[in-house]
A and B are shown apart, each in its own frame.
Chain A
Amino acid sequence: MSFEELKQLIQESFSEAIVAEDELATPKALLVSKDSLHEVCDFLYTNDKTYFDSLSCMTAIDNGVEKSTVEIAYNLYSIPFDIHLMIKVELDRDNPSVVSVSDIWRTADWHEREAFDLVGIHFNNHPDLRRILLPDDWEGHPLRRDYVEQERYHDVKVKY
């Protein structure tokens, strides 16, 4: 199934879902509205024409203070049909929150914890949303562009 066919398939069921597309991305990306993310993902997972059974990767990106957005890229792969697709969602930078897809792909559980840990995105309905890499009592989210290290951690100086 080609990118165009995929796009059409989604548009047939969710007319408002696709906000933009990026054909230069690898794999080609569809920007999906925040509210329809979960139903689009569930559709792509369960539909027997697509059957995206694997969430290969999930990354959060901070677009900076000027743009004031953060985005999440979901890299999907369908093992039986050998097709790739990237789903993107853009969120408000100040208080980013989006619904969790960990009930569709179990892989998303830890990926979402990482996005929460490093970029500070809140995932609703996540079963266990806490930091995965940094210690629980760490301050701030290091992959934010305006991140400043804390002065001390457990009485040890952080920045030299």
Chain B
Amino acid sequence: MSKEQQEILGLKTGEGGIIISKLDDLLNWARLSSLWPVGFGLACCAIEFMSTASSAYDLDRFGVIPRNSPRQADVMIVSGTVTFKMADRVIRLYEQMADPKYVISMGSCANCGGPYWEHGYHVLKGVDRVIPVDVYVPGCPPRPEALIGGFLKLQEKIRTESVLAPKALEKLMKKDVV
């Protein structure tokens, strides 16, 4: 094998020792490949969430592993009806999570109150009234495929994030300065 061939082979197998990438891409790749949700369920959506994690749908293959502490979690799945009593607890859990953190609102109840819209005096009409939501998954309850779809959407969103680009400044510059 010639020296040139050995060099090419070394690059292909990663034995060259150096990978060049953008910092943004590296961070985003790491984040979107290990989305750990905080493991709690509020209603029937939680059953679908559980079956999404089961062997039939195998959420593990996306690097999604439910954690039992909000401190270790990256994403919160609001899976079910958020009552006013629970809303205070949901806010508290959200505030305990370390940045960067994301929220998936799962099912009609968490999205907008769902069937409790008219007569549910005790139900918050959408979890986005108390915490910021990244992805909405429609359904009542959504099938496991839909929740996986939600995670893929979130991955797409994270892929375009940037820690370096001055997004806020760019936004400001676009506005007409009076």
Contacts and interface: CB of A to CB of B under 8 A. Distances in A.
Interface of B is mostly: loop
A27 interface: no
Contact of B117 (A133, A134, A160): A160
Interface string A145-160: 0010100011011111
Interface in A124-160: 133-135, 138, 142, 147, 149, 153-154, 156-160
A4 B1 CA distance: 105
A142 B117 contact: no
Interface stretch (B20-28, B81-89, B167-175): B81-89
B125 A135 contact: no
A160 B129 CA distance: 13
Given A156-B129, A156-B130, A160-B117, A134 B122 contact: yes
B124 interface: yes
Interface string B78-105: 0000001101100000000000000000
Interface residues of B, number: 12
A158 B113 CA distance: 11
Contacts of B129: 156-157
B88 A154 contact: yes
A142 B113 CA distance: 18
Nearest to A136: B85
Contacts of B117: 160
A153 B121 CA distance: 11
Given A154-B88, A156-B129, A142 B122 contact: yes
A2 B155 CA distance: 68
A159 B122 CA distance: 9
A156 B121 contact: no
Contacts of B130: 156
A147 B121 CA distance: 10
A105 B120 CA distance: 32
27 contacts: A133-B85, A133-B122, A134-B85, A134-B122, A135-B84, A135-B85, A135-B88, A138-B84, A142-B121, A142-B122, A147-B121, A149-B121, A153-B84, A154-B84, A154-B87, A154-B88, A156-B84, A156-B87, A156-B124, A156-B129, A156-B130, A157-B129, A158-B84, A159-B121, A160-B113, A160-B117, A160-B125
Interface of A: 133-135, 138, 142, 147, 149, 153-154, 156-160
Interface of B: 84-85, 87-88, 113, 117, 121-122, 124-125, 129-130
Which 9 interchain pairs have the tightest Cβ spacing?
A135-B85, A149-B121, A153-B84, A160-B125, A142-B121, A156-B129, A156-B124, A156-B130, A134-B122
